Chain A
Amino acid sequence: MGFELLLKGNNLGRLFGGLAVALKISLLSVCISLVLGTVLGSLMNDRHPLIKGVLRGYLEIVRIMPQLVLLFLAYFGTTRVLGINISAETASVFVFSFWGTAEMSDLVRGALSGIPSVQYESSMALGLSDLQTLVFVILPQIIRRMIPLSINLITRMIKTTSLVMMIGIVEVLKVGQQIIEANRKIDPNAAFGIYFTVFVLYFIVCWPISRLSKYLEKKWEA
């Protein structure tokens, strides 16, 4: 069934290596998204029509376009249209950050809109600048609501990185495919065991993170 192939040679190690590639891409993108998303999300309630319009357009693009399409655009499109050649990994970090930033900024915007305007007015009365108000008054209040949601974004990011195999990055699913192909003669039924293992690996990585997110959400709600 393919499970014994895992113990053959370094197959299990290679699978973990593939998982590490996927995790590296997702963690890098998450870090970028958290920072940029917080900044953009704070700007989203800005009254300037241009800023508002551009940000809305950006959010809509991300909402409508599948991540895989964005990946194709970034990887194949840039080479063709702009003539620049970026590696598949750079392209995927770029796309996932582009997507994650939009998601994060929407979360921040949602959390900010729950803050009563009294908070802003009181800060103004105390002589705080807009930036000071945001950093010292508003952000500390939304951080408890943001942390579980941001953790949730991490699991979604990890799940989405499975797409990078479609632009040729050798991550865990691709490694699984290679193992199956290499052992086609020895074990023609290997696909079951290997893909099951990949399935379980993803679950083992994502499940604790989403449990943590749920736990924090419940704990801080009270």
Chain B
Amino acid sequence: MDFDVLSFYFPKYAEAFLLTVRIGWLGIFLSIVIGIVSAFVIYFRVPVLSRLIGAYVEIFRNTPLLVQLFFLYFGIPKLGLNISAETCGIVGLGLLGGSYMSEAFRSSLGAIPNSQKESAEALGLTSVQTFFQVILPEAWVLSVPAVVANVIFLLKETSVFSAISLMDLMFTAKDLIGLYYDTTEALFMLVVFYIIMLVPVSAAGSILEKRARYKMFGE
């Protein structure tokens, strides 16, 4: 391992790191928004729309992100709609993640026992109040473990962005290996930066899960 090489590589990786983190978190934000909206649509059985959302979830859960990105980035522009690689990455990650998040939110909404709804009704709450003040807070806590797992999964999935020539960590590593042949150093830095990116998220996720568990069993 050559430390001069490592310090020479560092700024390049740092730049790629920022890009990866930015696109990754924007994509995750988008996926949470899509997930919440889709879960609501399915939960309330909105006619027609819930069918469409159901199809969307099935399609995106059963195809790889790499194939989705290739279709978005190389296929869609042929219809005359040009999207930049960055937008494409965010939208791709958002659509993939949205389908996973929607499953997470939907199943936790479904897991709330009916007695909660009936008790709320007996107490004279309107259905809107019941949903926002009883069902939603409980479902939100239930969904934490799945959401944390999805966030980590999506951050890892960002590694395929290099295929649509976004200059992320993977792209930088491949580029540097091709340019200088310092494979060991390039791969070492790649691993280090992924650790920097994911260990804090994983740790924060465990704390969040623990707190969610307290909430579930009462303070």
B68:A199 contact, CB within 8 angstroms? yes
Set B70, B173, B183, B184: member contacting A195, Cβ < 8 A: B70
Q: How far is the CB of B99 from chain A (nearest CB, A)?
A: 12
Given A66-B157, A72-B190, A159 contacting B63 (CB threshold 8 A): yes
A-side contacts of B70, CB under 8 Å: 173, 176, 195, 198
- Cβ of B191 within 8 Å of any chain A Cβ, yes or no, is yes
A contact set with B: CB distance below 8 Å: 1-2, 60, 63-69, 72-73, 76-77, 79-81, 155, 159-160, 162-163, 165-166, 173, 176, 180, 188-196, 198-199, 202-203, 206-207, 210
Give the contacting residue for B184; candidates A81, A180, A202; CB below 8 A. A81
Q: Is the CB of B61 within 8 A of A76?
A: no
- The A-B contact count (CB < 8 A) is 109
Answer yes or no: B179 CB below 8 A from chain A CBs.
Answer: no
Chain B residues with CB under 8 Å of chain A are: 58-59, 61-64, 66-68, 70-71, 74-79, 152, 156-160, 162-163, 170, 173-174, 177, 183-184, 187, 190-191, 194-195, 198-199, 202
Q: What's the dominant secondary structure at chain A's contact region?
A: helix
Partner of A202, one of B67, B174, B187: B67
Q: Chain B residues near A81: list those with CB within 8 A.
A: 184
Residue of B nearest to A160 (CB): B64
Query: Known: A80-B183, A189-B78. Contact between A69 and B64, CB under 8 A?
Result: no
B51 to chain A, nearest CB (A): 16
- Report yes or no: B187 in contact with A196, Cβ–Cβ below 8 A: no
A sample of 7 cross-chain residue pairs with beta-carbon separation below 8 angstroms, ordered by A number, consists of: A63-B152, A64-B195, A64-B199, A195-B70, A195-B74, A199-B68, A206-B62
Are the CB atoms of A173 and B187 closer together than 8 Å?
A: no
- Given the known inter-chain contacts A173-B66, A192-B76, A195-B74, please indicate yes or no for A64 contacting B198, CB distance below 8 A: yes
